[in-house]
Amino acid sequence: MSEEQVAEVVADAAVAQSVANDWRTGIPEEIRGHKSLEHIGDVGSLAKSYVNAQSMIGADKVAIPGKHATDEDWAEVHRKLGRPDSPDGYELDNAMPEGVDASEDMLNWFKGAAHEAGLTPQQAQKLLGGYNQMLGNITGNDEGQVQQLRETTETELKKEYGAAFADRLGHAKAATLQFGASEMVATEEGNVPVSFVDQLMLADGRSLGDHPEMIKMMVNVSQFINSKIGEDSLVGVKTTGGLSPDDAKAKLSEIRAPGTPYWDQRHPEHNFYVQEGLKYQEMLNVGS
């Protein structure tokens, strides 16, 4: 056999083997080129695909609506996926974070929005839980920020008023209650008057009554009233007699003024003046 004949026999054998390996030769010619068969490599894969298709027959399948679908088409899809028939069908655990009161109106709104969005009860619960958790984090951060502002204000005012801090704040509160609108609020200690400045909330979370400039203003008002009318002119004021650093400095200057007994050891009031001077100096040292 010549070389040409040998090559021809080998080529025929390769073609025959290729035909034998192509499982599509065993099916009707009109479906051999169907697109759905492109990824099936052998008869075994074809059999598996057939079995899987058979197992899906009778299953509850959801067809995705096309771009021209109506609201009714999508409503049927949401129904099959598990959305309740109405917003009232959601049974949700509305666990609110500490310090936040639950709102029935808010929960009803949420149910309506969840129903309109097509959420299943499981999806709605997960979304509500995530929202409440975020709300708790925000509220906690806000409370911490407000508390920090209050502590900063207290530190500044104690430095400014020194030993008179409690008296100054007492006078300021009394002036606010006496000349501003207030109402009785129930507390653990009973009904107590609360001024409108303690109920009006600022953008940073504090009440107006916690703002340092408001406190200073009411302190000045009370000091003016006391200086013009008398210490007992404000109702409900109890004082400790403490002095602010400025007041203590003024008293110390008065005692140590030239010509006072402070400088005359033979004066009968010399010791008294020295002790008073030490007292006011101590007040200044504490406030500094």
Q: Which of 80, 111, 137 is the last residue of a domain?
A: 137
Q: What is the mean pLDDT of the chain?
A: 76
Residue 282 has pLDDT above 50, yes or no: yes
- Using the structure block, give the residue that is written with the tokens 């054998």: 13
Q: Confirm whether 109 is domain-assigned.
A: yes
Q: Confirm whether 17 is domain-assigned.
A: yes
If one compares 54 and 209, the residue with the highest pLDDT of the two is: 209
At residue 90, the pLDDT reads 92
Q: Confirm whether 47 is domain-assigned.
A: yes
Q: Confirm whether 62 is domain-assigned.
A: no
At residue 97, the pLDDT reads 73
What is the band of 55 on the pLDDT scale with cuts at 50, 70, 90? low
Q: Which of 56, 79, 97 is the last residue of a domain?
A: 56
Q: What percent of the chain has pLDDT over 90?
A: 6
Residue 38 has pLDDT above 80, yes or no: no
If one compares 236 and 139, the residue with the highest pLDDT of the two is: 139
* 278: containing domain: 243-288
At residue 229, the pLDDT reads 62
Is 123 found in the same domain as 83? yes
Q: Confirm whether 169 is domain-assigned.
A: no
71, 118 Cβ separation under 8 angstroms? no
Report the domain count for the chain: 3
Is 80 found in the same domain as 51? no
Give the C-alpha separation, 49 to 110, whole Å.
44
Q: What is the pLDDT of residues 83-137, one digit of tens each?
A: 999 999 999 998 887 767 778 888 899 899 989 888 999 999 998 888 888 777 6
Residue 20 has pLDDT above 50, yes or no: no
pTM of full prediction above 0.75: no
At residue 58, the pLDDT reads 53
Q: Confirm whether 235 is domain-assigned.
A: no
Q: Confirm whether 273 is domain-assigned.
A: yes
At residue 177, the pLDDT reads 77
Is 76 found in the same domain as 50? no
Is 106 found in the same domain as 48? no
Is 75 found in the same domain as 49? no
At residue 8, the pLDDT reads 55
Q: What is the pLDDT of residues 181-224, one digit of tens each?
A: 667 777 777 777 777 777 777 777 778 888 888 888 888 888 77
Q: Which of 137, 162, 189 is the last residue of a domain?
A: 137
Q: Confirm whether 268 is domain-assigned.
A: yes
